[in-house]
């Protein structure tokens, strides 16, 4: 049986209908899928085509289809480090949200995690298994795949410190598992995953006391929520320059709570841009450009965005 297209048929859904015909029934295919609600910033336009493959075979078939039709492909995690422009994404957005990719299997002192598994679920499973070292995932609202691409980190640790091996798929559809030392990662980036899809990872923990692990998670959570806004954001907007944390720089430039349309710099944290209902992606982009301009002209610092930006302007 083939996947069900969850959209009424129009001329623009032709690609979606054909793709749905090639994938199994467990896969989800949609046309003109709004992406704002799939991001923590809550802004931005739709994806022409959106797919949640049910298996590696379906993912490979979706990539083959995109190659044949020369469609751009973007892999969406939980959208917590992502800004989609208001005109949306013209191409195929793939999200590993189906159960095959969200599983977390326990294997001795290791967790075998799918690329779509939530970091919070990973942290909680590690705690249940008395595995220390993954407490820092608590409060990072992303997926394992997004954390691999971004080498996500907090409180002195980062993703690549706990990874033992990785499974990935090239855009040709070829899948492979490799030890972590074959893939390079740096501060908030793993360039390998610009050109490969993270299917999953084996994460290694250290034997620990469950109560102590729980306590560390609680401490991290308290620290986080006393210094971060609750309003919609994509986490840190900018990478920290070598000389000063980006949030401190924004504060020193007197830009805290500066507003453009429905976007403003958070009062709680200078490196967070938060949005209000009705905000546009363009408001966020203009506010980021304003901050970058002030950092450049007043301090000679080039602020590089940490948040990933995709799509087209309106």
Ligand X SMILES: Cc1cc2nc3c(=O)[nH]c(=O)nc-3n(C[C@H](O)[C@H](O)[C@H](O)COP(=O)(O)OP(=O)(O)OC[C@H]3O[C@@H](n4cnc5c(N)ncnc54)[C@H](O)[C@@H]3O)c2cc1C
Question: Which residues contact ligand X by CB under 6 A?
Answer: 40, 74-82, 96, 115, 140-143, 145-147, 149-150, 152-154, 193, 197-198, 228, 233-235, 308
Assign residue 32 a region: left if phi > 0, alpha if psi is -120 to 50, beta otherwise? left
The smaller minimum CB distance to ligand X, of residues 141 and 245, is found at 141
The smaller minimum CB distance to ligand X, of residues 154 and 290, is found at 154
Q: Which residues contact 51 (CB under 8 A, 6 or more apart)?
A: 19, 23, 27, 28, 29, 30, 62, 92, 93, 94, 95
Cβ at position 18, least distance to ligand X in Å: 24
* Cα 93 from chain centroid (whole Å): 13
Cβ at position 153, least distance to ligand X in Å: 5
- Rounded to whole angstroms, what are the CA distances from 163 to 72, 100, 188, 201? 29, 20, 15, 7
- At residue 132, what are phi and psi to the nearest 5 degrees? -90, 160
Cβ at position 239, least distance to ligand X in Å: 10
Q: DSSP readout, 73-113? A: EEEESSSTTEEE-TT-EEEEEEE--SHHHH-EEEETTEEEE
- Cα 230 from Cα 197, distance rounded (Å): 30
The smaller minimum CB distance to ligand X, of residues 114 and 294, is found at 114
Cβ at position 32, least distance to ligand X in Å: 19
The smaller minimum CB distance to ligand X, of residues 16 and 76, is found at 76
Cβ at position 17, least distance to ligand X in Å: 25
The smaller minimum CB distance to ligand X, of residues 5 and 202, is found at 202
Residue with tokens 């048929």: 9
Helix extents (H) in the chain: 14-22, 56-68, 99-102, 119-128, 144-150, 159-162, 210-227, 246-252, 281-299
Cβ at position 119, least distance to ligand X in Å: 7
The smaller minimum CB distance to ligand X, of residues 53 and 77, is found at 77
């Amino acid at each position: 049986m083939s996947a069900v297209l969850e959209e009424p048929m129009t001329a623009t859904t032709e690609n979606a209908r054909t793709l749905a015909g090639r994938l199994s029934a467990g896969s989800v295919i949609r046309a003109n899928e709004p992406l704002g609600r799939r991001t923590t910033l809550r802004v931005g336009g739709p994806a022409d085509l959106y797919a949640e493959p049910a298996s590696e075979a379906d993912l490979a078939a979706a990539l083959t289809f995109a190659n044949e039709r020369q469609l751009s492909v973007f892999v969406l995690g939980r959208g917590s480090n992502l800004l989609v422009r208001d005109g949306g994404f013209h191409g195929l957005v793939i999200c590993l949200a189906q159960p095959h990719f969200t599983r977390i299997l326990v294997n001795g002192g290791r967790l075998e995690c799918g690329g779509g598994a939530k970091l919070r679920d990973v942290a909680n499973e590690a705690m249940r298994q008395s595995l220390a070292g993954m407490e820092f995932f608590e409060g990072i609202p992303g997926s394992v795949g997004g954390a691999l691409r971004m080498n996500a980190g907090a409180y002195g640790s980062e993703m690549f410190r706990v990874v033992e091996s990785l499974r990935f798929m090239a855009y040709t559809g070829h899948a492979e598992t490799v030890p972590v030392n074959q893939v390079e990662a740096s501060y908030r980036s793993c360039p390998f995953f610009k050109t490969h899809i993270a299917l999953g990872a084996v994460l290694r923990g250290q034997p620990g006391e469950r109560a102590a692990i729980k306590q560390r998670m609680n401490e991290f959570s308290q620290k986080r929520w006393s210094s971060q806004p609750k309003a919609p954001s994509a986490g840190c907007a900018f990478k920290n320059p070598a000389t000063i944390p980006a949030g401190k720089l924004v504060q020193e430039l007197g830009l805290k709570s500066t507003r453009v349309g429905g976007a403003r710099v958070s009062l709680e944290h200078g490196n967070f841009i938060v949005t209000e209902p009705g905000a546009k992606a363009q408001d966020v982009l203009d506010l980021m450009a304003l901050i970058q301009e002030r950092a450049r002209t007043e301090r000679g610092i080039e602020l590089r965005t940490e948040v990933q930006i995709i799509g087209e302007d309106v």
